Structure 1
Amino acid sequence: MRVFLTGASGFIGSAIVPELVRAGHRVLGLARSDASAEKLAAAGVDVHRGTLTDLDSLRRGAAACDGVIHCAFSHDDFNDYARNCEKDRGAIEALGSALAGSERPLVITAATARFTPGRVSTEDETPDASTGGLRAASEQLAFSFASRGVRVSSLRLPPSVHGDGDYGFVPMLIDIARKTGRSGYIGDGANRWPAVHLLDAARLFLLALEKAPAGARLHAVGDEGVPTRDIAGVIGRKLGLSVEPVPKEHFGWLGGFFGLDTPASSALTQARFGWKPEQPGLLADLEQGTYFARA
């Protein structure tokens, strides 16, 4: 099939592209800049110019394809998470509307975090926006299209999607440690972060596109929950810094995420779709040292 992929030139999208191509699909990738367009063209991807706020462009891209994977998310301002989620809902509305009545697949990206703090969350949990956070509202909106003839599914990612090229939370923690001279964790550091390797997540996006029924929720989780003190421990050892408890404010806005205890399971996803994580876990990936080769 021809697949419209938002975020095609990004960290996750760049790993999804070869999965789609190997499976025989043709990719139409959303590009908001000349640099992104050049990167996609070099990878053999058809280029569709637009942005997450150019809703007409999103509708045209979706309408021209047999299926959609929406993995783009605005990171222009990490401090304005609510606004970024609002943009995400606008994009989902545009994509879903373009596919309505066609029974074509739409895979949207959601988050595992913030369902029932301290308890391992599962795929079958369906929290509302008041308990599940702003990304839960995006998921709710997406699933409203299941009754409008769209084979919509949600692929929930954990706080850490790790691997070469990662520019997310873990590199931020490393940067904070370098700048402050210590590798910190909040409280006793027993709170857990789930994680998944980039390449494992990319394989699951393909499976969701091809196999997930309308209303399916998939968890791309390799590590069910890594204690944050263990993450801080590897960072401290790699940088030669002390590892110690610090106040949440030490991390700025990131402290609100790093202090969460949000373990998540992918047992149902593995049973239902035959997916199994094969790549190194988060701590093993950190130990390999690629995260620390940067200036």
Structure 2
Amino acid sequence: MIDRLLYADWDEAPAAMDFELPYGLAIERCRSLVALLAKKEAPGDAASWDKAVELYVHAPAIVNVALNYLICVELGLPLHPTEYIDLNTAPRKAARYPASLRASVERLVIDAIGLARSAYRLDAGFGAAADRFLLKLPAGLEKFVYTSTADKYTWRGAEPSKVKALADSVLARGQPSLALGAAHGAIMAGLMLAEYLDCPLWFVRFSLFKRRDSGPVITECDIKIITDASNRGEILVFDEDSASGTTLTILAAELRKYAPKLRTGAVIRHITTSFQPDHVGKTWWD
């Protein structure tokens, strides 16, 4: 898995985290990086460490664009290849999408999450899986532009050793039926966490501070995924960085409507917050 080649400064976000690429090219870049890194033996060398960091920050794009697409289709929001839709100002149900497209978006996100996890595993079959995924993309989606901005808190919260510590804490009380992260900040950490937990993974859009969401954006598709997982056992609701605890508190309260049996987790919990998740990877002394 990619963690065997990840040697980096985990205090400051790398320059590689700042990039902008069309969706199709981001997936192609992941293909090239996986093919290169899969041949490397740990601990690798400086060149492979840089490539591993590049893959680590690029693979979340596979999930991010698909998740945004699902939200727009489910909520009837306009689709735009280069502009990020502001959910606080965009009129709901302004667009009408065919039933066939609405029925396919759940599978699109499930496949996107699976493909991104495959990238982190450095699977030999990633290239073929990427081909299948690209062939099934809705028309035009490969040209949608993904923009990544370096963020030290997201980066710190994605350090594999911290994510592994969170996973160990969770598994000590049993494997969850679903790991559900707050998107978009928790996508990078979540892809690693789900591999350590060996459980299904999903994300709900809730970006309280970066995107100023007024609350979690929960679609009918989300409710179906969450309800099904809750019927199988406890779900884990997590964030990569819990500074005030507000995001996790609100998200967990909202999701308990559909999943009464849930636990909360944070890769990093700041000591200054009064909120105490059920599971923590590292307590951060500000």
TM-score (norm 1): 0.29
Which structure's residues are more often strand, by fraction?
1
